Amino acid sequence: MTAKAQEASDLIWQHWQDGTVMDGLPVDLKPNTRAEGYAIQACLAQHSPQPLVGWKIAATSTAGQHHIGVDGPIAGWLLAEFLHKDGAEVSIATNRMRVAEPEFAFRFAHDLPARPEAYSVDEVMAAVADLHLAMELPDSRFADFAKAGGPSLIAEAACARDLVVSEAVQADWRALDLSVYPVACRVKGRSEGEGSGGNVLGDPRIALTWLVNELSGQGIGAKSGELVSTGASVPPLEIEPGDHVEADFGVLGRLSVTISP
């Protein structure tokens, strides 16, 4: 941890608490590499009064990459204060992205410590306890998040914000091919979209493995009990106050969120 990383995280966190945005981090604090971005992110998490509960992956689909202006996935923490149960009412009063993204999320049963060699999909899935359905309402503290750049977006936890999460899926999800599994989402009375697990780096299980190896490369291990939301399986749908959003995952279940008026 460096003094500059701490100062950058302090600035991001203050904007987050105030519900304000900035054009960008000052030149002397702006991260130029992914590693520098993750160093700021690590400091940012220390501002929270509650521990990390897991991780999110942003930009696992082409649509998601275009949305935030990056050329590949990035990872960010999940904080307990931003998690909500299925059916929750969530405010987007200070949210400028204003989109909803249905996602597959996995919870670990075992630790996966950081190590030099990459983890395989089989190794990662063997450490998974449960599958959950999720709906992310991401946000950014940058006025033009599509031009902020990958390292800066990593610094602010990869546009992390509110995440609605279901109870553990009871269906036999391991028997399904998640790479082609269909997902639909509807903003009641306004719009709808369709997608599949294939939008998430080709397969949510591949995305989860990417996350484990991305963290491992930064010396961070995945831990038992942590939740990982793997990215938008349906292109982001615009939302406004008063909307009711429902995601349909077929035999795996449904989940919904109401946006506060």
Q: Give CA–CA dist 48/16, Å, rounded.
A: 11
Q: Give CA–CA dist 106/101, Å, rounded.
A: 16
CB distance 159 to 141 below 8 Å: no
Q: What is the pLDDT of residue 28?
A: 95
- Main-chain phi, psi angles of 136, to 5 degrees: -95, 140
Task: Using alpha carbons, select from 190, 177, 201 the residue that is nearest to residue 250.
Answer: 177
> Which stretch of DSSP H or E encloses residue 133?
strand 128-137
Q: What is the pLDDT of residue 1?
A: 58
Question: How much of the chain exceeds pLDDT 90, in percent?
Answer: 88
Interval 165-209: pLDDT, tens:
999 999 999 999 999 999 999 999 999 999 999 999 999 999 999
Per-residue pLDDT for 63 more than 80? no
Question: How much of the chain exceeds pLDDT 70, in percent?
Answer: 100
Task: Using alpha carbons, select from 196, 192, 174 the residue that is nearest to residue 109.
Answer: 174
Per-residue pLDDT for 253 more than 70? yes
b/e for 205-223, b at 16 or more Cβ within 10 A? bbbbbbbbbbbbebebebe
pLDDT band at 69 (very low <50, low <70, confident <90, very high): confident
In CATH terms, the fold of domain 50-259 is: Fumarylacetoacetate hydrolase; domain 2 (3.90.850)
CB distance 244 to 86 below 8 Å: no
Q: Give CA–CA dist 208/3, Å, rounded.
A: 32
What is the edge-to-edge ordering of all strands in the sheet holding 244-248? 89-90, 254-259, 244-248, 182-187, 191-196
Interval 3-59: pLDDT, tens:
999 999 999 999 998 999 999 999 999 999 999 999 999 998 888 888 889 999 998
Task: Using alpha carbons, select from 193, 200, 201, 188 the residue that is nearest to residue 233.
Answer: 200
Look at 67 and 258; give whichever has higher pLDDT: 258
Per-residue pLDDT for 62 more than 80? no
pLDDT band at 102 (very low <50, low <70, confident <90, very high): very high
Helix H, strand E, coil C: the string for 137-189 is ECCCCECCHHHCCHHHHHHCCCCCCEEEECCCCCCCHHHCCCCCCEEEEEECC
CB distance 241 to 72 below 8 Å: no
pTM for the model stands at 0.95
Interval 215-244: pLDDT, tens:
999 999 999 999 999 999 999 999 999 999
Interval 166-175: pLDDT, tens:
999 999 999 9
Q: Helical H runs in 46-103?
A: 62-68
Q: Give CA–CA dist 233/217, Å, rounded.
A: 25
Strands 191-196 and 182-187: antiparallel
Q: Is 195 left (phi over 0), alpha (psi -120 to 50) or beta?
A: beta
Q: Where are the domains of the chain?
A: 50-259
